[in-house]
Chains A and B, each alone.
Chain A
Amino acid sequence: MNPILVPLLLLLTPTLAIAMSAEERGLEIAKEIEARDTGFHDFKASMTMLLRNKHGEESLRDMRNQTLEVENDGDKTLVVFDEPRDVKGTALLSFSHKVGDDDQWLYLPALKRVKRIASRNKSGPFMGSEFAYEDISSQEVEKYSYKFIEESEYQGTPCFLIERYPVDPNSGYTRQQVWVDKERYIALKIDYYDRKNSPLKTLVFRGYQQYLDQYWRADEMFMENHQTGKSTLLTWKEYEFRAGLNDGDFNKNSLKRAR
C-alpha cells in the first residue's frame, strides 16, 4: 500500500480503520512519520543544551551536529562538542542501525585517540543532561513496536496518541506515549515510562519549522524529569539541509578533523 495513501484511507474510511488492529494502526502511523521525513539526504545544525537542576542551577552544553541519511539503515551522525571547555573538540561518530546496536566511535582530542565505544549504553544521560542517547539518536521504525491508543489533541492540535515499546532490552523505558500531529505527522509530546513503568520524563517539541518545503524540525525540545526535578532545554539552530555531506564526512579521519 502506498504509505501516502494510508492516512487518507484512515481518515476517509473508518471501517478500514476498525478492521486494522491497534498495533497495525500504530505501526502505520510510525511508518508514515518516517516516510514523510525521508529524502532530506543530509543536514548540519548546532545544538545547545541548557541543563537545570531542581535548585535552578544551570549548566550549558554547546555542540554541532552533522547527519547523513543512509538508505535502508539508520542515519550516520557526527557530533562535535564546543562547551564545556574541557571537552572542546571531543567528537562522537555514530552509525545507527535499524536492528541491533549502533556503531560508535569517540574521539578524544587531548590524546588524539579514537575509541570504539560500547553503544549498548543508550539509556544513560547524554553529557549529564536529561536526554539519553536513545532519545536523540536516529528514530527508526524498527526500534519499537506500536499501538494506537486514541485520537486526541495536544494544546488544541488534533493528534494521534500512540504508544511505542522499545525492541532493545537495554532501553531505559518500558513504553513511550507519543502525541503525533494528525496533519503534519510530527511528534508534539512524548511521555517516557521507566523500566518499572513509572512516569519518568516528558519531552515537548516547540517551534516546528519546515525545511525544503517538507521536513519539519523543532527549534526547541524541552525534556523534564519528573522523578528528579531536573530539566534540559535543547535548542537547535542554524539548520542547513543538503549541505553537501557524503560518506567521506563520516569516517575516522573526518572524526579526527571535525573539531
Chain B
Amino acid sequence: MRQTAPHTSHRLGGHGNVFNFGVDIVKRLWWVLLLLPGLLSAGEWSGFIELQGRHFPQQALDGDQSDQLLSIAIQPEYYQRWDNGRQSLLFIPFMRWDGEDDERTHGDIRELVWTYAGDGWETKAGIGKVFWGVTEALHLVDVINQTDLIENPDGEQKLGQPMLKLSLERDWGIIDLYALPGFRERTYPGEEGRLRTHPRVDTDQVEYQSDREERHIDLALRWSHFIGDWDIGLAHFDGTSRDPLLLPAVSDSGEVLLTPFYQQMRQTSLDLQATKGDWLWKLEAIHRSSDSDSYNAATGGFEYTLVGIAESDMDLGLLVEYLYDDRQDDATTPFENDLFIGMRLTANDVDGSELLAGVIKDLDDDGWMFNLEASRRIGNLWKTSLQTRLWSDIPEQDPLFVFHRDDYLEFTVTRFF
C-alpha cells in the first residue's frame, strides 16, 4: 500500500471540457504562440487528415456505450531549419473530433520543439517525443512520453512531453540527459466510448503522490551505443510514473468511478538487440520501484525474416516474444507470463502494402488477444489502413477482462498534404 497521502486535484470545468490537455499546454506556452506567426512564414507545412470508423460487433457492458464510432483527425506539421541547418523548429499540433465519445474529441501538441545541433552534441527544448526500445509486443523501457490511450488501446500513440534535453555524441556512445517539467495525464475513453474500464476512469479527479503534483520535474538519463551487430541502451528514470494506479472513488453525483493515482517511481532499464543476418534478437528488461511495490519485468524474443518468399518480392517476418513480470498475478499489466507470436508480411510493392498479425497468449490461463494491422498506399497522397483486435476467453481477474466485449474493426483513410 502507498505510504504517502495522495494529493488530489479537483479540476473545475469538469467533465466535457475536452480541450483541457491542449489548453493547459497552450497557457504555458503563450509566448511561443506570440512568436509563431513570424516564424511560421518561412518553413514548410505538411501533415495529414484522416477519417476513421470503428465498429464493435458485440453489445457493450454499459448501454451508454456506442457500437459505431466515426471520427476525423488532423495533424499538421510545420518545420523550419536555419543557421546552416544547425537550428530547427518543429511544430505538430493534433486534433480529433469523435462523433460519440466526448473524451476522444481531444487535442494535443504532439511536438513544439527547438533543436540546436552542435558539433558532437545536441540540445532540444519544448514539447517533444522520444522512443526507447526494441521489442514489438510491449514497450517496457519507453517511459518518457505519456500514452494517448484514447487514440488506440495498443498504447503506441503518445502525448507531447515538455522537455529539456542535452545529448552528447561520443566515440563510446550517445548520452542523453532529460529534464521533464510538466506531467501529462493519461487519456481515457469517456462514458460513451468503448475500450474502457467499468466503472470508467474519471480524468477530472486525479491524485498524485508528489505534493508538486503535475509540476514535479522528472529526470532521465540514457546511454546508447552500437558495437558491431549489437545495439545497446541503458537508461534510468526518476519521476512521476506514466502508468497510474486506478483507485475506486465516488463522484459528487454519487457515481462510482476510478481515479488515476500517479506515484513517484524509479526505473532502470536495458534494451538490447543483436542483428545476426536474417535474425533480430531483442531484449528489454526493467527494474521499477515505487512506494507501493518494486518489481522486474522483461520482454524478449526474435524476429526472423524470410526474404523473397515463394519467388516473389514479398518478405515474411516471424516474430516471437515472451513477456514476463515477476509480480505474476498481482501485476498491473496483463502481460505477466505471456507469449506473443506474430507475422509481418511486407509486399515490397509500389503501394507499400503491409500486414502485421499476431496473438498474445496468456500462459497461465485460456485468455488470448488477436491483433491485425494492414495498410496500403493509394497513389502518392492517400493511404488506407485496417485494424482489428479481438479478446477471447479472458478470465474475470485479468486486467484485459474489461475489453472482452470490445472486439473491434477499424478502417482509416488518410490524406497527406
Q: Which residues of A contact B (CB under 8 A)?
A: 51, 53, 59-60, 83-88, 101, 103, 111-121, 123-125, 128, 170, 172, 248, 251-254, 257, 259
Query: Is A120 a contact partner of B416 (Cβ separation < 8 A)?
Result: no
A94 CB, nearest partner CB in chain B, Å: 13
Q: Once the chains are docked, how many angstroms separate the CA of A121 from the CA of B81?
A: 34
Residue of B with least CB distance to A82: B46
Query: Is B169 a contact partner of A248 (Cβ separation < 8 A)?
Result: yes
Please name all residues of chain B whose beta carbon is closer than 8 Å to the beta carbon of A116 when the two chains form the complex: 134, 226, 231, 273, 275, 280
Please name all residues of chain B whose beta carbon is closer than 8 Å to the beta carbon of A53 when the two chains form the complex: 350
B89 CB, nearest partner CB in chain A, Å: 12
Please name all residues of chain B whose beta carbon is closer than 8 Å to the beta carbon of A117 when the two chains form the complex: 275, 280
Q: Once the chains are docked, how many angstroms separate the CA of A85 from the CA of B348?
A: 17
Interface membership of B37, Cβ < 8 A: no
Query: Is B349 a contact partner of A124 (Cβ separation < 8 A)?
Result: no
A–B pairs, 11, beta carbons within 8 Å: A59-B379, A86-B383, A113-B133, A120-B307, A128-B352, A248-B120, A248-B169, A253-B169, A253-B174, A257-B122, A259-B79
Assuming the contacts A113-B131, A128-B351, A257-B88, asked whether A88 and B416 have C-beta atoms less than 8 A apart, the reply is yes
Q: Once the chains are docked, how many angstroms separate the CA of A259 from the CA of B85?
A: 11
Residue of B with least CB distance to A57: B350
Interface membership of B381, Cβ < 8 A: yes
Residue of B with least CB distance to A111: B131
Please name all residues of chain A whose beta carbon is closer than 8 Å to the beta carbon of B122 when the two chains form the complex: 253, 257
B348 CB, nearest partner CB in chain A, Å: 5
Query: Is B131 a contact partner of A87 (Cβ separation < 8 A)?
Result: no
A85, A87, A88, A254: which has the most chain B beta carbons within 10 Å?
A85
Query: Is A121 a contact partner of B351 (Cβ separation < 8 A)?
Result: no
Partner of A86, one of B120, B231, B377: B377
Query: Is B315 a contact partner of A124 (Cβ separation < 8 A)?
Result: yes
Q: Which residues of B contact A (CB under 8 A)?
A: 46, 48, 79, 81, 88, 115, 117, 119-120, 122, 129-131, 133-134, 156, 167, 169, 174, 224, 226, 231, 273, 275, 277-280, 305, 307-308, 313, 315, 348-352, 377, 379-381, 383, 414, 416-417
Query: Is B46 a contact partner of A85 (Cβ separation < 8 A)?
Result: yes
B368 CB, nearest partner CB in chain A, Å: 25
Residue of A with least CB distance to B167: A253
B35 CB, nearest partner CB in chain A, Å: 21
Residue of A with least CB distance to B279: A118
Query: Is B131 a contact partner of A86 (Cβ separation < 8 A)?
Result: no
Query: Is B130 a contact partner of A112 (Cβ separation < 8 A)?
Result: yes
Query: Is A120 a contact partner of B278 (Cβ separation < 8 A)?
Result: yes
Assuming the contacts A118-B280, A121-B305, A251-B169, asked whether A128 and B131 have C-beta atoms less than 8 A apart, the reply is no
Query: Is A124 a contact partner of B313 (Cβ separation < 8 A)?
Result: yes
A49 CB, nearest partner CB in chain B, Å: 11
B77 CB, nearest partner CB in chain A, Å: 9
A43 CB, nearest partner CB in chain B, Å: 16
Q: Once the chains are docked, how many angstroms separate the CA of A103 from the CA of B348?
A: 20
Q: Once the chains are docked, how many angstroms separate the CA of A87 from the CA of B381?
A: 10
B231, B275, B313, B377: which has the most chain A beta carbons within 10 Å?
B275
Q: Once the chains are docked, how many angstroms separate the CA of A248 from the CA of B115?
A: 16
Assuming the contacts A124-B348, A252-B224, asked whether A118 and B231 have C-beta atoms less than 8 A apart, the reply is no
Residue of A with least CB distance to B306: A121
**Beyond A103-B226, A103-B275, A259-B79, 9 additional pairs, beta carbon < 8 A:** A51-B350, A83-B380, A85-B48, A116-B275, A118-B279, A119-B275, A125-B349, A248-B120, A253-B174
Query: Is A86 a contact partner of B278 (Cβ separation < 8 A)?
Result: no
Please name all residues of chain B whose beta carbon is closer than 8 Å to the beta carbon of A252 when the two chains form the complex: 174, 224
Query: Is B315 a contact partner of A128 (Cβ separation < 8 A)?
Result: no
Query: Is A121 a contact partner of B352 (Cβ separation < 8 A)?
Result: no
Please name all residues of chain A whose beta carbon is closer than 8 Å to the beta carbon of B169 when the two chains form the complex: 248, 251, 253
Please name all residues of chain A whose beta carbon is closer than 8 Å to the beta carbon of B46 when the two chains form the complex: 85, 88
A164 CB, nearest partner CB in chain B, Å: 22
Please name all residues of chain B whose beta carbon is closer than 8 Å to the beta carbon of A59 when the two chains form the complex: 350, 379-380
Q: Once the chains are docked, how many angstroms separate the CA of A116 from the CA of B272?
A: 11
Query: Is B307 a contact partner of A85 (Cβ separation < 8 A)?
Result: no
A225 CB, nearest partner CB in chain B, Å: 11
